[in-house]
């Protein structure tokens, strides 16, 4: 660069080196549109078609209208109730809960949801028969509370441990 003149332009960047056969460009084969995606889709659709065929083939036993009500009810329950509740809870969780304990709380909530999903038929008495007292003979409400209590106590202990470990690392 000379005094009083415009600075010299930087030399152009060199072209990137071509890929050698030893280092080929890797494609994401499981992305939407990739072969893994389409193979998985074909397998899944085949299984669904087989199930639908069985449902319709044995319509006198499977009652397709009841299945349709159950399926649509599940879709509506998920899309209009569960998904918004989970989205709101996640939004609040990120804003209220400190970062070190978030994974523990998320895991505890996930286990709680799984327990409640599994125990719901027993809690609602589905399948209970007055003529057979051995069907659903336990106090499932109390047992569920005990299990959830253990889950939340375990989650709280892990959260305290993670919080203390973070505090000790920051202070020491």
pTM for the structure as a whole: 0.57
Most confident stretch, 121-125, 155-159, 161-165: 155-159
Tens digit of pLDDT for each residue in 104-114?
998 999 999 99
Would you kindly state where each structural domain of the chain is located, as residue ranges?
41-96, 99-128+135-172
Residue 6 confidence class, pLDDT cut points 50, 70, 90: low
Quick one: pLDDT at residue 59? 93
Burial of 156 (0-12, 13-18, 19+ CB in 10 A): middle
Decide if pLDDT at 3 tops 60: no
Q: Output the pLDDT for position 30.
A: 60
Average confidence (pLDDT) over 70-89: 88
Tell me how far apart the alpha carbons of residues 153 and 171 are, in angstroms, rounded to a whole number. 27
Least confident of 7-16, 87-96, 139-148: 7-16
pLDDT value of residue 34: 85
Q: Please give the share of the chain, as a percent, with pLDDT higher than 70.
A: 80
Indicate if the pLDDT at residue 7 is higher than 60. Answer: no
Contact (CB, 8 A) for 163 and 98 = yes
Give Cα 152 to chain centroid, integer Å. 20
Structure confidence at residue 25 (pLDDT)? 63
Res. 27 pLDDT band, cuts 50 70 90: low
């Amino acid at each position: 660069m000379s005094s009083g003149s415009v600075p010299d332009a930087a030399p152009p960047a060199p072209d990137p080196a071509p890929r050698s056969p030893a280092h080929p460009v890797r494609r994401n084969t499981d992305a939407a549109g990739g072969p893994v995606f389409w193979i998985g889709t074909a397998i899944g659709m085949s299984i669904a078609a087989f199930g639908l065929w069985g449902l319709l083939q044995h319509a006198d036993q499977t009652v397709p209208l009841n299945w349709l009500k159950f399926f649509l009810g599940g879709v509506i329950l998920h899309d209009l109730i569960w998904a918004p509740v989970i989205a709101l809870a996640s939004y609040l969780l990120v804003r209220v809960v400190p970062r070190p304990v978030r994974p523990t709380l998320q895991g505890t909530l996930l286990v709680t949801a799984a327990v409640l999903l599994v125990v719901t038929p027993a809690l609602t008495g589905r399948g209970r028969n007055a003529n057979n007292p051995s069907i659903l003979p336990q106090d499932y409400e109390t047992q569920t509370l005990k299990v959830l209590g253990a889950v939340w106590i375990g989650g709280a202990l892990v959260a305290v441990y993670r919080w203390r470990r973070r505090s000790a690392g920051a202070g020491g």
